[in-house]
Structure 1
Amino acid sequence: MGRYRTPTVLAAASLLLTALCAGQAPAAAPPGRVDLDPVIAEQLDDAITAAMRKAAIPGVGVGLWIDGNDSYVRGFGTSDKATGVPVKTDMYTRIGSVTKTFAITAALQLVDDGKVRLDAPISTYLDGVPGGEKITVRQLADMRSGLYNYTEDPRWLATFKADPHRAWTPQELLDFAFAHPADFAPGAKWEYSNTNTVLLGLLVEKVGGQPLHTYLAQHVFEPAGLDSTSLPTGAEISSPYVHGYTNFTPDGSIVDASTWNPSWGWAAGAMISTMDDLRSWVPTLVTGRLPDGDRLLEPGTQAQRLRMLPTGHAGVGYGLGIAELDGWIGHNGELPGYETIAVRLPQARATMVIVVNSDVDGKFGSLSSLIANTVTKIVTPKHVWSLPSAAQPNTVPEPTATSPSAPAPAPTPAPSS
């Protein structure tokens, strides 16, 4: 039977890591094995708490699952500084550029259906893309199109900063991107750009014949059993949710960004999910198989998705809407107030999900990467998460001048994806 149809490691910022670890890391586990015994769990509790304290992180959710074996699932700190409600692992959160894994899956499903060709020019399907006759669908998916990243446009940044509740259309976002010349010839190199995924979202809508949020709900979320995952059409977020804190404000003050409108990220970074849904999604994403054993993508398409090409950043490869960092495969994401990592280490049959309700990265770099580094130093010392800051995916630039989540430095860092 074919696949059942019905719906960041780089997303919206780069992952600059600082290792913070309490106590001695345990001896490396045998190849292919990860232990999560009570001693390890206590070490993780202490190390994560120490990292949060040093980096002033309000709240963190950490999940580590070993197939058919142990798990470590914890919430730390507060989800809402106004009420003091603690972080709980079933809360909804904004996932930034992890959205790209879903949007590009939808485009690849259309490839499997014979409706889209990976190596066809995007001009075959969409009008108005500068140089679109030379940019392929594949180059959009693997971040090699050369198209300018609209979230780095100074005018767009100023507009967003002035009114983060504004609703954006995909075409408005593309207008900012297309006002700039291409950064390089298609295929010449790798460069993270949210523009690429917005175009693929429009491709899915046009060829799939449905709004992107509807297509994803029917063809990705439903067959994958993701009941708590959605692409909002506005600023809505389901309850209970984690409040996200950012300093991407005119005066640099830290505010609650949980009701800011993420439409500026759309297909590149606007989705909402939970730790448990992401725990289920990551193995599906990495294997191309649904929980019931059916296919999410055809094997040949999945193999192309996982063909990691160099990014120019040591240790980081990028495929079709999916990244690899020292064996960990998946994506990360960042946008004002939120950071997420959702990845899998296949050889250990391990899945890791990290959510952080702040993007006030400061001297520690990406906060989610800090936590991931802390966790992996203890649990998988041979596969430590350490993403270069310049390789971190953002939906929008970040609040600090050296945005750890932006794949490329922005004039004035802000939200990412």
Structure 2
Amino acid sequence: MRTPTRTRLRRACVSGAAAALLVVPTVAGSAYAAPAPPRSAATDPPPSPDAGTDFPRLTPAVAARLDAAVRGAMRKTGTPGVIVGLWAPGKGSYVRAFGVADEATRAPMDPGLLMRIGSETKTFTVTALLRLVDRGKAGLDDVIGRYVKGVPNGDRITLRELAGMRSGLFNYSEDDDFNRVLDTEPREPLAPQQLLDYSFAHPVQFAPGARFAYSNTNLILLGLVVEKITGRPLHDVIADDVLAPAGLHRTLFPTGAEFPDPHAHGYTEQSTPSGTTEGVVDATGWNPSWSWAAGAMISDLRDLRSWARTLATGALLTPATQAERLKTTPTGIPGAGYGLGIFDVQGWIGHNGSIPGYESLTVHLPQAGATLVVLLNTDVPHAGKEPTAFFGEALTAIATPAHVYPGHPPSVPKSG
């Protein structure tokens, strides 16, 4: 039986998995309008000649429509709190927080709060790897067996196939034994090798490169590759070689369950070992080590705004490596392709994330120079779909009707 927890972090390319309804009260609340961040080269570039002309100026009237769309998505999904940011050069900005950050105290959500970002971590891990590629320390077509021993098909699977979700390796977060541990001991640490052991207990699903199948196992291996090449812990490499040059000061890779203040509380459904649901619980202090290079990181709205453009434009990479990154493979979802630790959905480039208690969506639309960031303090699906997908669809239907982020796509394959 698939438990709700079992789907965590496998829901990435705007997919849906276990159908479940959030039972905490819906909180529409009043919007908090944060002042626009100061303009900087990293976060608010000047308008470009090819900027999309169909992106509306973010006037009070448009903001009111966006407010209504967010509140509607909150009611539909039962989301306790949400932070939203939408920006485009020359068009203004829309920054809001709705609902509550803590259901116990009823503290309001705030745009400055830290949030867990789940699978958006993949964008940082793969960027760390690609910077090593640019330095000549690794090659995208190197086989994983060169760096990590004991990987099934390790003499055939390349780093490119791992980063592009085409390895064929079983997703450890779909393993029954793993999920029993995660459901019963969510605060206990899990080491990368333990995660690989869960995966490697299963046969490979297809030949390397044969098709797309989303698997957290791939990112655990890439994290180990980065450590092997650099001789440093992954969290240090990402801090020094990715976050620092990107100018991200409120983003971190925790080594355990630490969660700096101020942060929002996150809410998830917890399951019993038999697979029944115990109800919605506060997962704020759960240990994200089980997701490590695939999903353990923390960030905030301001940093993710900057990161969205850095990621989509390849500011930290050579043009040749960024071009390789953006070569996408069909995912089975109309309009959605997956590159190297990055997706392209209807022209929006970036990633989403899901981890117990939190979801995120950080995407950039190069045609308009626009950036969208959505942060939620729940990961409970609605109608079998990611909560962030409903927000993404509602917001882009107003802001970029020619590039609507799909809120109701078909699910990716079970292994994805």
Identify whether the pair has TM-score above 0.5, normalized to the shorter chain.
Answer: yes
Cα deviation, 1:348-369, whole Å, max 9, x if unaligned, reads 1100000111112232621111
Aligned to 2:48: none
Moved more, 333-342 or 250-259: 250-259
Q: Is 2:379 the partner of 1:359?
A: yes
Q: Secondary structure at the match of 2:260?
A: coil
Distance 1:335 1:111, change over 3 A: same
1:163 to 155, 163, 185: 185
State the 1:388 CA deviation.
5.5
1:213-232 matches, within 5 Å, as 213-232=235-254
- Could you say which residue in structure 1 is the equivalent of 2:12? 11
How far 1:98 sits from its partner (Å)? 0.4
**Is the 2:81–2:377 contact (alpha carbons within 8 Å) kept by the matching residues of 1?**
yes
Q: Is the deviation greater in 194-203 or in 379-388?
A: 379-388
Query: Which aligned pairs between 1:55-74 and structure 2 lie closer than 5 A?
Result: 55-74=77-96
CA spacing shift, 1:364–1:191, aligned 2, 3 Å:
closer
Deviation for aligned residue 1:32: 5.4
Cα separation, 2, equivalents of 1:95 and 1:12: 14
Counterpart Cα distance in 1 of 2:255 and 2:14: 23
SS of the counterpart of 2:160?
helix
Q: Select the residue among 335, 340, 344 that pairs with 1:320.
A: 340
Cα pair 2:257 2:287 within 8 Å, conserved: yes
Write the letter of the residue equivalent to 2:242. Answer: V
Match of 1:272 among 276, 291, 298: 298
Distance change (3 Å), C-alpha of 1:30 and 1:212? closer
Aligned partner of 1:144 in structure 2 is 166
Superposition pairs of residues 7-406 of structure 1, within 5 angstroms: 11=12, 14=15, 31=53, 33-250=55-272, 251-289=277-315, 296-363=316-383, 365-386=385-406
Once superposed, which parts of structure 1, at least 4 consecutive aligned residues long, lie more than 4 Å away? 387-391
1:409 match: 414
CA contact (8 A) 2:13 2:343 kept: no
Distance change (3 Å), C-alpha of 1:32 and 1:286: farther
Partner secondary structure for residue 217 of structure 1: helix
Instruction: Report how far residue 97 of structure 1 moved.
Output: 0.3
Alpha-carbon shift at residue 67 of structure 1 (Å): 2.5
Quote how far apart the aligned CAs of 1:41 are.
0.1
Q: What is the DSSP-based 3-state SS (H/G/I as helix, E as strand, rest coil) of the residue aligned with 2:396?
A: helix
Distance 2:153 2:413 in 1: 22
Residue pair 2:170, 2:204 contacting (<8 A) in 1 also? yes
1:210 and 1:201, CA in 2 relative to 1: closer, same or farther beyond 3 A?
same
Tell me the amino acid that sits aligned with residue 409 of structure 1: K
Q: Distance in 2 between matches of 1:127 and 1:180?
A: 17
Q: CA deviation at 1:209?
A: 1.4
Per-residue deviation, 1:56: 1.5
Unaligned runs of 5+ in 1: 1-7, 18-28, 290-295, 392-406, 411-415
Question: Which range moves more in the overlay, 146-155 or 34-43?
Answer: 34-43
CA distance in 1, matches of 2:115, 2:73: 21
Q: Identify the range of structure 1 (215-224 vs 241-250) with the bigger mean alpha-carbon deviation.
A: 241-250
- Contact 1:356–1:368 (8 Å) recurs in 2: yes
Segment of structure 1 superposing worse, 355-364 or 261-270: 355-364
- The normalised TM-score by structure 1 is 0.86
> Identity rate of aligned residues, in percent?
51
**Aligned partners of 1:311, 1:12: CA distance in 2, in Å?**
8
Where 1:83 maps in the other structure, the secondary structure is: coil
CA contact (8 A) 1:322 1:331 kept: yes
Q: Counterpart of 2:129 in 1: which secondary structure?
A: helix
Residues 10 and 281 of structure 1: is their aligned pair in 2 closer, same or farther, counting only changes over 3 Å? Answer: farther
Contact 1:106 1:220 in 2 (8 A): yes
5+ residue gaps, structure 2, are 1-8, 20-50
Contact 1:75 1:87 (C-alpha < 8 Å) held by counterparts: yes
Q: Distance in 2 between matches of 1:127 and 1:344?
A: 37
Deviations 1:206-248 (A, max 9, x none): 1011100000000000111110101100001111101110013
Kept after mapping to 2: 8 A contact 1:364/1:370: no
Q: Is the 8 A contact 1:165 1:260 kept in 2?
A: yes
CA distance in 2, matches of 1:359, 1:189: 27
Question: In structure 2, what is the Cα distance between the partners aligned to 1:165 and 1:386?
Answer: 34
Distance change in 2, residues 1:134/1:93 (3 Å): same
Q: Distance in 2 between matches of 1:177 and 1:190?
A: 17
> C-alpha separation between the residues in 1 aligned to 2:354 and 2:245?
26
- Deviation track 1:273-312 (CA, whole Å, cap 9, x = no partner) reads 00110000010001111xxxxxx11110011001112122
Counterpart CA distance in 2 for 1:15 and 1:302 is 29
TM superposition shift of 1:144 = 0.3
Cα distance in 2 for partners of 1:13, 1:161 equals 24
> SS state of the match for residue 141, structure 2?
coil
- Distance between the aligned counterparts of 2:235 and 2:66, measured in 1? 37
Contact 1:32–1:349, Cα closer than 8 Å, also in 2: no
How much has 1:382 moved relative to structure 2?
Answer: 1.0
Q: CA distance change for structure 1 residues 94 and 30 in 2, over 3 Å: closer, same or farther?
A: closer
Q: Per the alignment, in what secondary structure is the counterpart of residue 304 of structure 2?
A: helix
Q: Residues 188 and 202 of structure 1: is their aligned pair in 2 closer, same or farther, counting only changes over 3 Å?
A: same
